[in-house]
Amino acid sequence: MAVKWEQLVVDAADPARLGGWWADALGWEVTDSSDEEFEIRQTADRLPGILFVRVKDTKQNKNRLHLDFRPDDQEAEVARYLGLGARRVDIGQGSQSWVVLADPEGNEFCILSERHG
């Protein structure tokens, strides 16, 4: 049986605001938008996408699933995300080679160091 990964679903208090933030941060396209859902993809015909859906409850704890990004220049990418409104967060990671950030609704993601070898 064949399966395709369609999208990652992210709960959001304001799907358009959070989805728009991620679209800007990633340079992705908005493929669908309503009051309840906001979807972005790298290109309109490329999977997977990220679907932001409205929920009433707020984020309470550390994410059980998060995104990792490996840029060519970690320091520059961290600065870029911070400039877009992300913030540094401490989830108990200690001193590591990656940087943990949170988006405007508190969802953690990591900016990894450059890959060597």
Q: List the domain boundaries for the chain.
A: 1-55, 64-117
Q: Cα(102)–Cα(110) distance, rounded to whole angstroms? A: 9
Average pLDDT over the chain reads 94
Of 68, 72, 116, 73, nearest in space to 93 by CA? 68
Q: Provide the pLDDT confidence category of residue 114 given band limits of 50, 70 and 90.
A: confident
Beta bridge partners of 108: 102
Q: Cα(37)–Cα(7) distance, rounded to whole angstroms? A: 13
Of 16, 7, 20, nearest in space to 46 by CA? 7
Name the CATH topology of 64-117.
Answer: 2,3-Dihydroxybiphenyl 1,2-Dioxygenase; domain 1 (3.10.180)
Global pTM value: 0.90
- pLDDT greater than 70 at residue 117: no
Quick check: do 1-55 and 64-117 share a fold?
yes
Residue 113 has φ and ψ, to the nearest 5°, of -75, 170
User: Residue 1 corresponds to which tokens in the numbers above?
Assistant: 């049986």
CATH code at 1-55? 3.10.180.10
Check residue 58 and give its pLDDT. Answer: 84
Which tens digit of pLDDT belongs to each residue from 23-76?
Answer: 999 999 999 999 999 999 999 999 999 999 999 988 888 888 999 999 999 999
